[in-house]
Amino acid sequence: MFATLSDRLEATFKKLRGKGRLTEADIDTTAREIRIALLEADVALPVVREFIAQVKERARGADVHQALNPAEQVVKIVNEELVTILGGETRTLRYAKTPPTVILLAGLQGAGKTTLAGKLGRWLKGQGHTPMLVAADLQRPNAVDQLKVVGDQAGVAVFAPEPGSGVGDPVAVARQSIDHAKRQLHDVVIVDTAGRLGVDADMMQQAIDIRDAVKPDEILFVVDAMVGQDAVTTAEAFRDGVGFDGVVLSKLDGDARGGAALSVRYVTGKPVMFASNGEKLDDFDVFHPDRMASRILGMGDVLTLIEQAEKAFDADEAEKVAEKIRSERGFTLEDFLAQMQSVRKMGSLQKILGMLPGMGDIREQLDQFDDRELDRVEAIIRSMTPSERDDPKLINGSRRMRIARGSGTEVSDVNRLVERFLEARKMMSQLSRGKGLPGMPGLPPGMQAAMGGSGGKKKGKGKKQRGKARSGNPAKRAAQNAEQAQRAASGAPGAAFGVEPEPNGQSEENFELPKEFRHLLGNKDGQ
């Protein structure tokens, strides 16, 4: 959603990075370009004015002019002001001292309240609560049936005593739901109310009556992030009429310009608490202003990525896979398929990669990425026999043709998957054993132990000592050759290799050679 705004801000900051110091003209030019970028993103004009005024005032301060890198200081200022505009600190739900905690959802029709009720219920269930959804939207056709379906998908109980579609009293349903939740021991009640097409006086009064009947601990106003400035206007009207405690942004994964998301917190004075960024019930997150600001500025969102990874991956299973990777042959295509499925639990790869810093530079490539490629990979692996998944080297030409037919792909696709898997497995094994990437300096484990290191490159030039350097003077070189021949004839230790004995008098008897190389000398133990 914020791609256009991010690109414009990134282009503005690039112009600053080549400057050793900032002049007044530079600050004015930068502020003007940021203002244009915000207005094009449909950010409310009062928000833009306040934001630009703060950025210009701080950019003219001593911290920027005395900094070694003024451009980075300006980026830091813009980031901090974005965090302020978005709400500053993360706001969490307030729970009632005596259960159940009542959460009332309200908003325009089509904002996504019913789906969001299921997402919020699923999220609360994951937090250890026992939520219940209440079908108090009795105006919209099939709204009650939709909530039942969403609740079933989320694994959350639904209280729906009335059929809806214009039948039933929503205030009475909301009141009865509290007693029902107490009897069934539900500690959170989420009331889904009817939407409205605009500032409708009758529907606003209905929301007020439901509020008075259930006395909610939290009133959340659901805002469609794709609507634009009209959503902010409606939020103001609802705040003045019914009142609300926080905002939930839905459809944050859309392709709109995102101005409402940046404006609603400043205009209404109420914090954004949650964000819905996809169609699946898992596409629901707590809204963190600092992380959202980082995304807008192209800095990524690594913390959210880590949190999602912790949910998707089992720690014990990950340790088992790590052990298999170290042994190289232990990591199979079956393990690879399991890991790929765990990654997919985190969401689309396009969204996951978009959370990494610097991915804004390759946004076009990310937009062209097709998650269905993973489906083809899964189909190829599932078309293999257990023995083929365990040892891909068994897959010969006829087997590859059979696998291609079974997965609906080409033989070249099977070849590519097997080759890449074998290369990746080898590389992961080398990395896990401290041998470095292929083509980079690395030592066998025995040599690492003998040198008391991890196989890393030694400080300095790191060249292996081969003995005394030979002189370029013919006379001196002849003398060196004669001396070497004399040592070889006398059988001095190490003379055959042209290396002087160690100063400490080490001999062959007390020299400890790694096991991997003992057989080369044919020692007495025969190892």
| End-to-end C-alpha distance for the chain, whole angstroms | 66
Q: Are 55 and 31 in contact (CB under 8 A)?
A: yes
Q: Are 336 and 330 in contact (CB under 8 A)?
A: no
Number of Cβ atoms within 10 Å of the Cβ of 130:
17
Query: Coil, helix or strand for 257?
Result: coil
Tell me the C-alpha distance between 165 and 168, whole Å.
9
Residues contributing to the annotated binding site: 107-114, 192-196, 250-253
Q: Are 331 and 425 in contact (CB under 8 A)?
A: yes
Tell me the C-alpha distance between 134 and 178, whole Å.
9
- Side-chain-side CA neighbours of 84 within 13 Å: the count stands at 13
Tell me the C-alpha distance between 278 and 361, whole Å.
23
The DSSP code for 138 is -
Tell me the C-alpha distance between 196 and 327, whole Å.
61
Q: Are 414 and 395 in contact (CB under 8 A)?
A: yes
- Strand bridging mode 284-286 / 272-276: antiparallel
Phi and psi based region of residue 499 (left: phi greater than 0; alpha: psi -120 to 50; beta: remaining):
beta
**Residues facing residue 103 across a β-bridge:** 190, 218
C-alpha pair distances (Å), 100 with each of 113, 282, 466: 21, 24, 80
Number of Cβ atoms within 10 Å of the Cβ of 146:
19
Q: Are 493 and 502 in contact (CB under 8 A)?
A: no
* Token digits of residue 11: 């282009």
- Side-chain-side CA neighbours of 480 within 13 Å: the count stands at 14
**Residues facing residue 249 across a β-bridge:** 223, 275
Q: Which of 123, 247, 257 is nearest to 188 (CA)?
A: 123
Angle 91-206-242 from CA coordinates, rounded to 5°: 35
Residues contributing to the annotated binding site for GTP: 107-114, 192-196, 250-253
Please state whether the peptide bond connecting residue 100 to the residue before it is cis, i.e. omega within 30 degrees of 0. Answer: yes
Beta strands in 19-114 (DSSP E): 101-107
